[in-house]
């Protein structure tokens, strides 16, 4: 689920009308336009009937203590790509949303929307993958639904999963409690999922093919939470819009500035090469098993030591810190040494053309 | 990473910045011609760091920005035809035409695809023989050879469902127009490195002779750009206009012969309307008559007259000719943003307005 935040939204731009009152693809890209759509057209209408549409998973505590709920839909195309597929993504994505909110994942629901003509053999592969990943994450599938729509009304298979988990005590402070001085950590090398999808979609034929980082984060998140307690301020997986989107959301939540050093950002040589070739900024490219953490400065090295115990986060490193805001909400020190503001992600990745 | 890290070295950047300050006895006005250079200068904070020494005017070298409205309108019309798919580079899709963009057309059922090379469009044509594939071919001499190659391959393979909208433009005629205009302020040019990879730089020798301004062939990385600026200022300080190649790792005097031959086989030079500039003599490349059957204008004569409606508020032309900075435009950052652009320079990652919007701290402070 896209983190939703309506509280401190003050910007007057990006009215989500679409250019002519239609849904456009930009509404689904995770940047300003999608956030405005969620705020103005969804949250605004659901406010009275919703519990707390704010973070990755809601607290339904009024009638059940410490229960975390989240939901997410998966429409990735193609459905199979290097290192993953829509089935595992639908499990890991929702499990990770719970984990990032400081909850232990327990149950999933699984809703499938299938297009008429979708090969059953392919469906089997997808469901096998769901089963394998659910086992790996130690979650049970407790409810499900299947709908079939006429050919052309969907693209193969769409999946929705709702995740239910238990918030652990003490509760993680959350992004509003991020304070100047806190260290910012990226848990792994960034931008792998977006490039894997792009390569699978466009058949660039890079060798080796870029593979997704899609994978479960619940154990890593739990270890960090137990190790650091309330000095782990917040975690968020950097999905659509990449790490840039997370930094912007946090800057808005806490009101301070997120400062990162481009030279410290973990990035594999092959990812970097592809980004340079296509003119893409890896800070804006989606991840599916990589997160950003904000921790108290005196616990940063301990956090890194914990992260380095897990293979999925063995490249974790400190990339920057939270500072008092002067002008820009997110600032990046470019490798040449000048600090520059980092804009919010906007729309689809558009490679330079010359 | 080889060929990258050494051109982004922070120490070297600082040293070059200092050298530029020391070399300048006045604030010189230089034009970075290519949009890729604009993007790098603004993204890396180089322009900001040299504000007191150099005024950089970001020239018309963003092909998306100068593609005329009529071309976009034509592409939109074709995308709505039955059994027709328009393919182009991603940047082109959000550029507003008279009434809408290709992206709007797509959300209304128009068939529009993003490709990364004209050869990809050709592949779609082979895969879907029942559809007409139209490639909207934009770009300078850098991308023109690959479009030429696609046309030649389509011809060799006997494809009857592949056409191009030939909208390629030539950079030097635009520089000549700027240099000879009465209100020109540009004192030196950083020539677009990638265009020179194809064309070579010999043709700038006459340009320098005619207009008495230095032209420095410049690359795109921070160190490349600073070396280009330093060299240009050195020429200006000693009043010695000349052509200097500071992108020697990619550019030769004669250029890429094979690419030039492709261009010559497929195109002829023609007068061309540039968005915001009007007609630039010899400013475009059109298909030679023998390739008419691959020319979308020839294959799909338009029944609807294409009346272009430029949104009057956009001052993109004044930005690209250096008359104003993007921030001086009253629409900048409020009525015109990358989400809802009024004009092309706000769309492309290489457009001057989009670069300022994304990387300018002043703009972001307005929103606080």
What is the sign of the dihedral through the CA atoms of A103, A106, A109 and A114? Answer: positive
| Mean pLDDT score across all residues of chain A | 85
From chain B, the residues in CB contact with A10 under 8 A are 367
Show the DSSP H helices in chain B as ranges: 10-23, 35-43, 46-49, 63-66, 69-79, 102-107, 118-127, 144-156, 171-180, 193-199, 203-211, 222-237, 257-266, 296-299, 316-320, 352-359, 361-366
From chain B, the residues in CB contact with A204 under 8 A are 116
| Binary contact (A347, B339; C-beta < 8 A) | yes
| Mean pLDDT score across all residues of chain B | 91
From chain B, the residues in CB contact with A33 under 8 A are 339
What's the whole-number mean pLDDT along residues A189-193?
Answer: 96
Residue A61 forms contact with B (CB below 8 Å): no
Q: Picking from A137-151, A180-194, B238-252, which range would have the lowest pLDDT averaged per residue?
A: A137-151
Q: How close, in Å, is residue A10 to chain B by CA atoms?
A: 8
Q: Helix (H, G, I), strand (E, B), or coil: what is residue A220?
A: helix
Of B100, B116, B358, the CB nearest to A19: B100
Tokens encoding B53: 């020494």
- Residues B143-176: tens digit of each pLDDT: 999 999 999 999 999 999 999 999 999 999 999 9
User: Would you tell me which residues 262-321 of chain A have a C-beta closer than 8 angstroms to some C-beta of chain B?
Assistant: 269, 272-273, 276, 278-279
Task: Tell whether the model's pLDDT for residue A56 goes beyond 80.
Answer: no
Cα A187 off chain centre by: 13
% residues pLDDT > 90 (chain B): 68
Q: Rank A66-70, A113-117, B211-215 by mean pLDDT and report only the highest.
A: B211-215
pLDDT score at B359:
77
What's the whole-number mean pLDDT along residues B40-53?
Answer: 90
| Binary contact (B63, A279; C-beta < 8 A) | no
For chain B, give percent helix, strand, coil, nearest 5: 45, 20, 35
The number of C-beta contacts closer than 8 angstroms across A and B is 130
| CA neighbor of B63 nearest in space, from B226, B179, B192, B244 | B192
Confidence bin at A146 (pLDDT 50/70/90): confident
pLDDT score at B228:
98
**Chain B residue with minimal CA distance to A270?**
B1
pLDDT score at A5:
36
pLDDT score at B72:
93
Confidence bin at B307 (pLDDT 50/70/90): low
B118 touches B135 (CB < 8 A): yes
Of B90, B142, B222, the CB nearest to A336: B222
Q: What's the pTM value of the predicted model, to 2 decimals? A: 0.84
From chain A, the residues in CB contact with B143 under 8 A are 353-354
The pair phi, psi for residue A42, each rounded to 5°, is: -115, -60
The single-letter DSSP state of residue A268 is -
Interface test with A, best of B37, B338, B362 (most A CBs within 10 A): B338
Task: Tell whether the model's pLDDT for residue B243 goes beyond 60.
Answer: yes
A341 touches B52 (CB < 8 A): no
Residue A62 forms contact with B (CB below 8 Å): no
pLDDT score at A14:
34
Q: What length does chain B have?
A: 368
Task: Tell whether the model's pLDDT for residue A54 goes beyond 70.
Answer: no
Residue B181 forms contact with A (CB below 8 Å): no
Question: Across-strand partners of A236?
Answer: A292
| Binary contact (B45, A14; C-beta < 8 A) | no
A241 touches A345 (CB < 8 A): yes
pLDDT score at B86:
97
Cα A306 off chain centre by: 21
Sort strands B162-168 and B132-139 into parallel, antiparallel or unpaired.
Answer: parallel
For chain A, give percent helix, strand, coil, nearest 5: 35, 25, 40
User: Would you tell me which residues 214-243 of chain B have a C-beta closer than 8 angstroms to some C-beta of chain A?
Assistant: 222
- Residues A79-99: tens digit of each pLDDT: 999 999 999 999 999 999 999
Element (DSSP H or E) covering residue A306: helix A300-307
Look at the block and give the residue holding tokens 């409690």: A177
What's the whole-number mean pLDDT along residues A32-60?
Answer: 64
| Binary contact (A341, B89; C-beta < 8 A) | no
**Chain B residue with minimal CA distance to A348?**
B90
Residue B360 forms contact with A (CB below 8 Å): yes
Residue B7 forms contact with A (CB below 8 Å): no
Residue B100 forms contact with A (CB below 8 Å): yes
% residues pLDDT > 70 (chain A): 83
Query: ipTM of this complex > 0.90?
Result: no
Q: Picking from A126-140, A271-285, B176-190, B298-312, which range would have the lowest pLDDT averaged per residue?
A: B298-312
Separation between Cα atoms, residue A104 and residue A110, nearest integer Å: 18
What's the whole-number mean pLDDT along residues A310-336?
Answer: 95
pLDDT score at A18:
42
Q: How close, in Å, is residue B44 to chain A by CA atoms?
A: 6
| Binary contact (B39, A14; C-beta < 8 A) | no
A130 touches A90 (CB < 8 A): yes
**Chain A residue with minimal CA distance to B339?**
A14
- Residues B125-139: tens digit of each pLDDT: 999 999 999 999 999
| CA neighbor of A101 nearest in space, from A344, A242, A293 | A293
Cα A49 off chain centre by: 25
Can you say whether residue B351 is alpha, beta or left, with left for phi > 0 and alpha for psi between -120 and 50 degrees?
beta
pLDDT score at A223:
98
Confidence bin at A245 (pLDDT 50/70/90): very high
From chain B, the residues in CB contact with A26 under 8 A are 103, 339
pLDDT score at B310:
63
Q: How close, in Å, is residue A277 to chain B by CA atoms?
A: 11
CB-count exposure of residue A226 (10 Å: 0-12, 13-18, 19+) = exposed
Separation between Cα atoms, residue A201 and residue A52, nearest integer Å: 36
Task: Tell whether the model's pLDDT for residue A60 goes beyond 90.
Answer: no
Interface test with B, best of A40, A247, A352 (most B CBs within 10 A): A352
pLDDT score at B136:
97
Residue A255 forms contact with B (CB below 8 Å): no
What's the whole-number mean pLDDT along residues B355-359?
Answer: 83
Sort strands A58-59 and A67-74 into parallel, antiparallel or unpaired.
Answer: antiparallel
- Residues A250-288: tens digit of each pLDDT: 999 999 999 999 999 999 999 999 998 888 899 999 999
Tokens encoding A117: 């003509």
Look at the block and give the residue holding tokens 């294409």: B306
Tokens encoding B194: 């990638």
Who's near B154: CB < 8 A, 6+ residues apart? B122, B125, B162, B294
Interface test with A, best of B353, B364, B365, B366 (most A CBs within 10 A): B364
pLDDT score at A353:
39
- Residues B256-271: tens digit of each pLDDT: 999 999 999 999 999 9
Sort strands B267-274 and B278-287 into parallel, antiparallel or unpaired.
Answer: antiparallel
pLDDT score at A350:
42
Calculate the alpha carbon distances from B238 to A45, A160, B242, B251, B304 in Å.
Answer: 68, 69, 11, 25, 57
- Compute how many other C-beta atoms are within 10 angstroms of the C-beta atom of residue B208: 18
Cis peptide before A208 (omega within 30 of 0): yes
Tokens encoding A276: 């340079």
Q: How close, in Å, is residue B8 to chain A by CA atoms?
A: 6
Who's near B269: CB < 8 A, 6+ residues apart? B170, B282, B284, B285, B286
Q: Rank A7-16, A139-148, B26-35 by mean pLDDT and report only the highest.
A: B26-35
Task: Tell whether the model's pLDDT for residue A295 goes beyond 90.
Answer: yes
DSSP line for A234-260? EEEE--TTHHHHHHHHHHHHHSSEEEE
- Residues B13-37: tens digit of each pLDDT: 999 999 999 999 999 999 999 999 9
Confidence bin at B73 (pLDDT 50/70/90): very high
Task: Tell whether the model's pLDDT for residue A48 goes beyond 90.
Answer: no
Of B94, B103, B142, the CB nearest to A354: B142
Tokens encoding B264: 């010559």
Q: Which residue has the higher pLDDT, B361 or B4?
A: B4
Task: Tell whether the model's pLDDT for residue A52 goes beyond 60.
Answer: no
B304 touches B329 (CB < 8 A): no
| Binary contact (B45, A340; C-beta < 8 A) | yes
Confidence bin at A236 (pLDDT 50/70/90): very high
Residue B15 forms contact with A (CB below 8 Å): no
| Binary contact (B104, A24; C-beta < 8 A) | yes
Of B9, B39, B90, the CB nearest to A351: B90
The single-letter DSSP state of residue A38 is I
Q: What angle in degrees, to the nearest 10, is found between the helix axes of A192-202 and A269-278?
A: 60
**Chain A residue with minimal CA distance to B43?**
A340
pLDDT score at A51:
47
**Chain B residue with minimal CA distance to A268?**
B1
Task: Tell whether the model's pLDDT for residue B313 goes beyond 90.
Answer: no
């Amino acid at each position: 689920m896209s983190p939703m935040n309506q509280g401190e939204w003050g910007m007057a731009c990006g009215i989500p009308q679409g250019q002519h009152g239609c849904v456009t693809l930009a509404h689904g890209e995770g940047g300003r336009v999608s956030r405005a759509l969620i705020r103005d057209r969804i949250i605004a209408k659901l406010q009275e009937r919703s519990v707390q549409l704010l973070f990755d998973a809601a607290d339904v505590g009024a009638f059940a203590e410490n229960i975390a709920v989240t939901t997410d839909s998966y429409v990735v195309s193609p459905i199979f790509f290097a290192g993953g597929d829509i089935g595992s993504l639908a499990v890991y994505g929702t499990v990770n949303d719970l984990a990032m909110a400081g909850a232990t994942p327990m149950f999933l629901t699984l809703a499938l929307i299938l297009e008429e003509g979708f090969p059953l053999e392919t469906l089997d592969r997808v469901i096998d993958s769901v089963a394998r990943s659910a086992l790996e994450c130690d979650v049970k599938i407790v409810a499900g639904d299947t709908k079939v729509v006429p050919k052309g009304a969907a693209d193969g298979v769409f999946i929705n999963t709702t995740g239910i988990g238990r918030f652990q005590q003490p509760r993680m402070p959350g992004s509003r409690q991020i304070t100047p001085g806190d260290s910012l950590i990226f848990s792994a090398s960034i931008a792998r999922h977006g490039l894997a999808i792009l390569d699978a979609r466009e058949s660039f034929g890079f060798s080796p093919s870029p593979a997704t980082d899609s994978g479960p984060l619940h154990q890593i998140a739990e270890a960090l939470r137990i190790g650091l307690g309330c000095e782990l301020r917040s975690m968020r997986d950097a999905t659509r819009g990449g790490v840039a989107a997370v930094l912007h959301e946090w800057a808005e939540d806490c009101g301070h500035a997120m400062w990162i050093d481009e030279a410290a950002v973990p990035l594999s040589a092959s990812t970097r090469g592809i980004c340079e070739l296509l003119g893409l900024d890896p800070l804006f490219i989606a991840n599916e098993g990589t997160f950003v953490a904000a921790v108290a400065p005196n616990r940063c090295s301990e956090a890194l030591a914990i992260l380095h115990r897990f293979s999925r986060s063995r490249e974790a490193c400190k990339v920057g810190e939270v500072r008092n805001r002067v002008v820009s909400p997110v600032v990046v020190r470019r490798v040449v040494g000048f600090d520059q503001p980092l804009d919010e992600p906007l729309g689809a990745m558009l490679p330079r053309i010359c | 990473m080889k060929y990258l890290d050494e051109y982004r070295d922070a120490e070297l950047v600082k040293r070059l910045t200092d050298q530029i300050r020391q070399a300048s006895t006045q604030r010189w006005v230089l034009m970075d011609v290519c949009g890729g250079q604009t993007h790098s200068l603004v993204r890396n904070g180089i322009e900001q760091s040299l504000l007191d020494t150099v005024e950089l005017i970001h020239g018309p070298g963003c092909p998306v920005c100068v593609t005329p409205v009529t071309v976009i309108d034509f592409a939109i019309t074709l995308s709505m035809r039955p059994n027709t798919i328009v393919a182009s580079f991603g940047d082109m899709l959000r550029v507003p035409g008279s009434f809408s963009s290709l992206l709007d057309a797509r959300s209304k059922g128009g068939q529009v695809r993003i490709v990364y090379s004209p050869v990809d469009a050709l592949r779609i044509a082979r895969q879907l023989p029942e559809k007409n594939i139209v490639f909207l071919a934009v770009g300078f001499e850098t991308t023109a050879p690959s479009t030429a190659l696609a046309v030649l391959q389509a011809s060799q393979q006997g494809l009857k469902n592949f056409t191009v909208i030939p909208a390629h433009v030539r950079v030097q005629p635009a520089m000549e127009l700027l240099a000879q205009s009465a209100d020109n302020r540009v004192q030196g040019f950083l020539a677009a490195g990638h265009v020179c990879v194809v064309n070579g730089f010999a043709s700038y020798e006459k340009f320098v002779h005619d207009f008495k301004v230095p032209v420095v062939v410049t690359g795109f990385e921070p160190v490349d750009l600073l070396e280009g600026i330093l060299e240009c200022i050195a020429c200006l300080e000693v009043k010695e206009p000349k052509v200097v190649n500071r992108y020697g790792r990619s550019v030769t005097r004669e250029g890429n012969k094979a690419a030039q031959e492709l261009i010559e086989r497929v195109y002829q030079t023609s007068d061309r309307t540039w968005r915001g500039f009007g007609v630039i003599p010899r400013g475009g490349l059109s298909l030679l008559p023998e390739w008419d059957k691959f020319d979308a204008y020839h294959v799909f004569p338009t029944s609807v007259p294409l009346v272009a409606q430029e949104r009057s508020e956009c001052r993109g032309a004044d930005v690209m000719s250096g008359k104003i900075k993007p921030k001086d435009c009253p629409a900048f950052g409020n009525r015109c943003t990358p989400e809802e652009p009024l004009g092309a320079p706000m769309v492309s990652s290489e457009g001057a307005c989009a670069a300022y919007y994304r990387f300018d701290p002043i703009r972001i402070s307005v929103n606080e």
